[in-house]
Amino acid sequence: MQKKEPAVRKGALIWRFLQGSKGLFVVSMLLAALTALTDMITPQIIRAAVDNAIGGNEPTFGPAVMKLVNALGGFEYLGKNLWIMALAVLLVAVVKVVSQYGFMLSNTRASETLTKTMRDTLYTHIERLPFSWHMKNHTGDIIQRCTSDIETTRNFVAGQMTSLFRIGILVVLSMVFMFSMNTTLTLIALIPMPVIVWYSIHFHNKIGEGFKECDESEGRLSAMAQENLTGVRVVRAFGRERYEKDRFEKHNEEYTSLWVRLGKVMSRFWASSDVLSGLQIMLVVVFGAVFCLQKNMTSGEYIAFISYNSLLVWPIRQLGRMISEMSKAGVAVDRIGYIIHSETEKDKENAVCPDMTGDIAFEHVNFAYEGCPQMLHDIHFTMKAGTTLGILGGTGSGKSTMMLLLDRLYDLPADCGKITIGGVDIADMKLEHLRKNIGIVLQEPFLFSRTLQENLSIANESLTLSDIREAARAACLDETIEGFTKGYDTFVGERGVTLSGGQKQRAAIARMLTQHTPIMIFDDSLSAVDAETDAKIRKALEKRFGSASIILISHRITTLSKADQVIVLDKGRIAEMGTPDELEKAGGLYQKIYEIQSLTKEEVDA
């Protein structure tokens, strides 16, 4: 499921997310550079003060600095008035504080803007991804990609990237100052650097892999928690709390131990890199002291050199962390890229919006779910416009799949037959147009945690309450809703009433009816209501159907008996087709079910 993205693509993705925050990041980089520069100046002031006041000799600087020194009264004057030097240190510190403050402000602003852009982009993209994509991917995992992976990417751009820039400037400036003071000592200071850098890179792969494992384990853990919370009823009803708790603990344990293992690797790295940098500092201190004794270096230069060296060692040591954070960010960007680079639902170039009141035809349709054996075999039939088609078949025979194909929640691959409405292939239609004209009540209705009124009007927000009530009446739900103390303002779901299966189904029917579509599909939509209510709803519905084409999927023969045509589906194949009257006597599956369902109690007992 997770492919590694090439670095260029990762960069392009981050560049795209930087829309709107680039300017702010540039400002914070400039301020970071200014802060780095102030770090460079203080050791020079101290060097001048030490050499001048203690050593009694005049340090040499570039012409610009000498001009400034002369304007202030020359070294001799400055040596007698050390407070000027102290003031200069203070002044530099103030500039540093102000630029650091500005950096924090602009960087926070930039990173929050970046996070917002990432969240918006991802959410918009996910909304447009096909149904099949959503069926393939765990909700918990998607949520993790939209939260903690975004967080990691943000930290990378706003933290590591700006730090890297700052480190770059620090390193370059430190080297310039160090070389200007003593070439030999600078070269000595640089000798251990390649080892430190090589060492960091050596750990790069190890740490990256560890982070990936941790991330994946976290995804599994949150997917599990999410599924458990959603299925809390099943867990309780089956007394599976203990089992689920144990399962969670097992995963949690695995997750924890992965982090601990990663922690061990990281500690080893930090400890050994501590030793390496200690050695480097030792080299500079020892050789610097020797050069001072040989009069090749002044005390002021020695002190300044050690300051620059520590400024240099710090970023080099940070390199290890940078690299590990970068590999972590690389994984996070990969995971976000997986979503962003998943193909969204798209219309064909010349997609059409034809009249949808024509005949519906399945022409030799074959279909298999991805990675599964063939499910539908040569489904071929025509349903006249304005008629009612009944579909009967055992569970798993492919009834719902046919409807998902008709609504293009799954696209029919090429060479797998076609589905037409009014002679036009649905693959050539605009998706929005197609779905707007097909009202579908799915087998497992889903209601949002919103009020009933909001739930019933999702198809069209401008519906009036009387429109909604009219639809609810047809679905035999109006009375039930009126029975709730808050009526149509009743909250559904976690924060409100929990509707029964039958009530949910009726709410889903009412929601569909508000659309007034020329094609209506009821996928086993009355299975959870009793036979009497079923009959009542059907009667109320018939009045509203008018010229619409209706597809009724049901297990109840009585539900299908009014259909103009019935298809009996068996293991993905059409086993029988005809009017209910014909099928009652055809001697097939329909007749068998018809006979079982029309037996009286006495007959069953007998």
Ligand X SMILES: Nc1ncnc2c1ncn2[C@@H]1O[C@H](COP(=O)(O)OP(=O)(O)O)[C@@H](O)[C@H]1O
Query: Contact positions toward Mg ion, by CB under 5 A?
Result: 400, 443
Both structure tokens of 132:
């099949």
Closest distance between ligand X and the C-beta of residue 554, in Å? 11
Instruction: Say how many residues make up the chain.
Output: 606
The listed partner (ligand X, Mg ion, none) that binds 401, CB under 5 to 8 Å by sort, is ligand X
396 binds, among ligand X, Mg ion, none (CB under 5 to 8 A by kind): ligand X
Out of Mg ion, ligand X, none, which partner does residue 414 contact, by CB within 5 to 8 A per kind? Answer: none
Token couple for 319: 């390199």
Nearby residues of 231 by Cβ (< 8 Å), 6 or more positions away: none
Of 48 and 376, the one with the shorter C-beta distance to ligand X is 376
Tell me if 552 sits within 8 A of 563, measured CB to CB.
yes
Q: Give least dist CB 159 to ligand X, A.
A: 40
- Contact assessment for residue 28 and residue 114, using Cβ atoms and an 8 Å cutoff: no
Nearer Cβ to ligand X, position 174 or 400? 400
Question: Smallest distance from the beta carbon of 425 to ligand X, in angstroms?
Answer: 22
CB of 419 to ligand X, least distance (A): 15
Q: What tokens were used for 495?
A: 């924060």
Classify residue 303 as exposed, middle or buried by CB count within 10 Å of its CB (0-12, 13-18, 19+).
Answer: middle
Rounded to whole angstroms, the Cα distance separating 598 from 305 reads 100
Say which amino acid occupies 521: I
How far is C-alpha 187 from the geometric centre of its chain's CA atoms? 48
- Per DSSP, the residues of 259-320 read HHHHHHHHHHHHHHHHHHHHHHHHHHHHHHHHHHHTTSS-HHHHHHHHHHHHHHHHHHHHHH
Which CB, 443 or 558, lies closer to ligand X? Answer: 443
Residues that bind ligand X (CB under 6 A): 135, 369, 372, 375, 393, 395-401
The nearest distance, CB 444 to ligand X, in angstroms, is: 10
- Return the number of the residue (134 or 261) whose C-beta is nearest ligand X: 134
Q: Return the residue matching tokens 């997750």.
A: 255
Sheet holding 388-393, edge to edge: 438-441, 519-523, 549-553, 388-393, 565-570, 573-578
Q: Decide if 365 contacts 412 (C-beta within 8 A).
A: yes
Residue 17 or 367: which CB sits closer to Mg ion?
367
Q: Is the dihedral of CA 15, 18, 23, 24 positive or negative?
A: negative
Is residue 570 within 8 A of residue 397, CB to CB? The reply is yes
> What, of Mg ion, ligand X, none, does residue 81 touch, CB below 5 to 8 Å by kind?
none
Nearer Cβ to Mg ion (157/521): 521
Query: Which of residues 523 and 584 has its CB atom nearest to ligand X in the complex?
Result: 523
Nearer Cβ to ligand X (60/395): 395
- Look at residue 393 and give the partner it binds from Mg ion, ligand X, none, a contact being a CB closer than 5 to 8 Å depending on partner kind: ligand X
Q: Which does 600 bind (CB under 5 to 8 A by kind): ligand X, Mg ion, none?
A: none
Pick the closer one to ligand X by CB: 79 or 393.
393
Distance CA 381, CA 396 (A): 20
Nearest-approach distance from CB 235 to Mg ion, in angstroms:
24
User: What angle do the packed helices 162-181 and 183-190 form, to 10 degrees?
Assistant: 140
**Closer CB to Mg ion, residue 388 or residue 400?**
400
Least Å distance, CB 131 to ligand X, is 9
Q: How far is the CB of 407 from ligand X (least distance, A)?
A: 13
* Least Å from the CB of residue 396 to ligand X: 4
- Among ligand X, Mg ion, none, what binds residue 52 when CB lies within 5 to 8 Å by partner kind? none
Q: In which element (H, E) is residue 479 found? A: helix 478-483
Residue 350 φ then ψ, to 5°: -105, 45
The alpha carbon dihedral of 292, 293, 294, 295 has a sign of positive
**Least separation in angstroms between CB 401 and ligand X:** 3
